[in-house]
Amino acid sequence: MFSSATGMSTAERNPALSGKDFTRLSSFIYEHCGIKMPPAKKTMLEARLQKRLRALSMPSFSDYCDYLFSQEGLQNELIMMVDLVTTNKTDFFREPDHFAYLVNAVIPEWQKKTGGRRPLNVWSAGCSTGEEPYTLAMVLSEVAATLDGFSYQIMATDISTRVLEKARKAVYDEDRIDPVPMQMRRKYLLRSKDRANPLVRIAPELRAKVRFNRLNFMDSDFGFREQLDIIFCRNVIIYFDRKTQERLLNKFHGHLRAGGWIFMGHSETLNGLDVPLVQVHPTVYRKLA
């Protein structure tokens, strides 16, 4: 086996994750984040966490587990570990039918019911790097431009501090904005002057409409008391087992106003779950008034 310039072998620099340590880690991730880590994910987990072993100069996963589960590790390492093991895949205008339904069905009914006497309160739960809440802000700003007195506010949360940092910066590679309609690009996106490094940034007036916070769905209390009109929680619960899905959706239900809507991902379903929500559109559910 070839050695590196440091004299360490590849095996020494990339220690293997034993079955025992995988069980320790996967059980902890499930208890803390609600995310199931079946044996098929062992290689993925090993590869992602090897970065932390190198950063901490730890020779084995056993040492890493001992540190992670210590008081110091829970305070200093937990967030780093969560950032590495969570998957964050999102796009602007992902599942565009949802935004059409929001504009054409949800907002007219909400406006009729409330008379626009208060802001529409929206939560992007599992917001990742920000594409979903900024898409919502673009869509709702377009509504506000044509509907007198309409206003909105968006709360966006994720468990990963890494993706929240990127979401707050609101800077994206230019090829990421392909799904954004041209008229919205002109109004809501700023292009970098350096064309050798083509980037865009969300306009400040739109950024001001979105409030980002870290939130772990497994926490007993979400940390806010606001009643929400709409929750976008798309392609998030697929990472949880059915028991966790049911518990989480009932917590969401408790934060929805009567008649409020939950938008789920197209690969997700509430079938078989004991949750008091009724389907009103494909993957859109409503709390009974």
Q: At 209, is the secondary structure helix, strand, or coil? A: coil
In 3D space, the residue among 255, 230, 252, 257 whose CA is nearest the CA of residue 136 turns out to be 230
Task: Tell me the CB-side half-sphere exposure of residue 63, using CA atoms within 13 A.
Answer: 11
Q: How far is CA 139 from CA 37, 135, 174, 186, 222, in A?
A: 36, 6, 19, 14, 26
3-state percent helix, strand, coil for the chain, nearest multiple of 5: 45, 20, 35
Catalytically active residues, by annotation: 48, 158
Q: CA-CA distance, 260 to 245, in Å (whole number)?
A: 19
Please work out, in degrees rounded to the nearest 5, the angle formed at the alpha carbon of residue 189 by the alpha carbons of 155 and 131: 40
Q: Tell me whether strands 189-191 and 171-173 are parallel, antiparallel or unpaired.
A: unpaired
